[in-house]
Amino acid sequence: MKAFQLQQYDKKNLALNCVDLLRPQVAPNEVLIEVKAAGVNPLDNMITRGDVKMITPYALPQTMGNECAGVIAEVGSEVSDFAVGDAVFSRLPISRPGAFAEYVAVPADAVARMPEGLSFEEAASIPLTALTAYQALDLLEAKPGSSIFISGGSGGLGAMAIPLAKARGLKVYTNGNSASRERVMALG
């Protein structure tokens, strides 16, 4: 299978190498996803530059990519929630990126069925930003009726955080560029 790997950390050159690898074997608690789309995030660039290696060091070479959407190609012997052919999306564990490949083995508890009506590309863009927004709001422990300022409401993270905050009953204030005003206002 084809995969895009980081060979060495480099602050100036963010290029990944396209390599041929064996298809991953699934552990009993994993599913094998045939990747149809993968999200590209600032985190991927941070990893490539070596900005997070003090927190999460990777053994290089490392297949990159932190979120994906695709179809289950195989299920581990202990997995009962998914079946071959299920359309799914995933935020891969931080210790095991690998979405920039044709196939990726992922613990089943890091996988969810794709919502109806989303394309693979749309679904692949959700897990990392949505989880980041959810975790940030959870850490705030804001009570319904409280106010929150979400910087960059027109960006990917802001666009996830606004509806999540509204669903928690928070009064949302944000900023963003004027070209995105209508889209941001539609978020709540």
Does residue 4 have a pLDDT over 80?
yes
Contacts by 115-119, CB closer than 8 A, 24 or more apart: 119/37
Does residue 33 have a pLDDT over 90?
yes
Per-residue pLDDT at 156: 87
Residue range 127-186, CATH number? 3.40.50.720
| Tokens encoding 117 | 């009506």
pTM for this model (two decimals): 0.88
Does residue 188 have a pLDDT over 80?
no
70-83 confidence digits (pLDDT tens): 999 999 999 999 99
Per-residue pLDDT at 60: 95
Q: Hey, where are the domains in the chain?
A: 2-118, 127-186
Contact 124, 66 (CB under 8 A): no
CATH topology of domain 2-118: Quinone Oxidoreductase; Chain A, domain 1 (3.90.180)
